[in-house]
Structure 1
């Protein structure tokens, strides 16, 4: 009877099935009973390439058992977004949030599905009799875009996809250090001033397909884009957005910024924010600050 050689067997294979925000991964993992090393998979992009995940299979103290942990971190594209990922694996559901560093969550522990007698080769000991263990893991992942702050509503799946699309954008916001591509229809839905300018046809913005936003950086314009598509406000950098909202008569953006400034107000920032409000004729911001501190 011929016994298999473990050296010729792949340590894991994966089948990937993706449908919208849902991802199904089926892993077949093989290892020797005496092997105490972790098996780490290649990263897989999820959530429209905003995050990446990988699985780590670890030997357990329990006989013939293997632990499956999932690691996740967000990509550069997700700087203004904090996507939570809902994870289900068998009867052990879990949920955690990706960040800029690899985070790990233990999501499953199971015994071997099959055990086969085999041989492996060691340079010092030659051929070694061992048991080849095979495990089948299935993990279902749902990746959803939501704001960093729970105070802002989650955008619809359609606007999530539009936000990530750059191939079919038809307009540009021009800042001091670069441009940010957007969909003209989304801009016009938020800005009546832009709608008037583009409808007229005489403005330079109509001909160039680009609107110059004075004194705004690309970072600020990306925050503006995230707000228009996803209704997300940044944790910091609200003052430049307030200036844009005031200049371009975006009342909802202005009100949401003021509400968040007041809600997240810190003692050491009061003087600076009151000075900013006075310099830029924002009495409603001053009142919000005063009301929050009384």
Structure 2
């Protein structure tokens, strides 16, 4: 059995993570889950750890790093290893073996016995760096060779059809069928959307970037309407990470009104009971103040 406690300390470029591991018994294997050791580094990668104990009582540590943004090129550096590009199809990487700093053995056999106790301390430093995708930045800034417009009441943004079609099957169907007026007119009217949100959509299309936290909900609305699955998932993931007692009710209300159950379930799974209780208290206080004003 492995019991793990971790602490995180932010550094200039990433995180310093310390694991204190209590191992009781013989050969053990432990695989992390979201609730214990999944770590987000610089909003660029999600890192999970895996620990296994060999017969010599050492702990083997592995990690897997998954990019958060699909079009973004990210380099990751773990401990003193060389920087590596984070793969679109990541695999488990070995960090190394660690011997116990304290042990109590009930047998002299080489293989650990059921009552043996081992204590490990493992430090891991992780840094993540965004590599500027120059060609995508140039395409995003281009206006000379664009051939389609995303339009709203206060303006429009120019895009390339090929990029738009790759983003969503809904857009692809619009662009491929001549009977659709959007194809013939060279633009699509997106009602109820601000020009700022359209620019955020374009930034995501070309460079995989997301806007500030408070601007995610209108972008999620577009992703849901036009079935942009990856953008939808990334918005939900980031919204889940920023849940606080003061914004919990509003985000849950949005998920119900816009019929996005994935957001609701994600929030409920990831939100501690204490935050839920604080949110309920804050909501009741807000309603009480509003009732007093009405009187």
TM range (shorter): 0.3 to 0.5
What is the TM-score normalised by the length of structure 2?
Answer: 0.47
TM-score (norm 1): 0.47
Greater fraction strand: 1
Greater radius of gyration (CA): 1
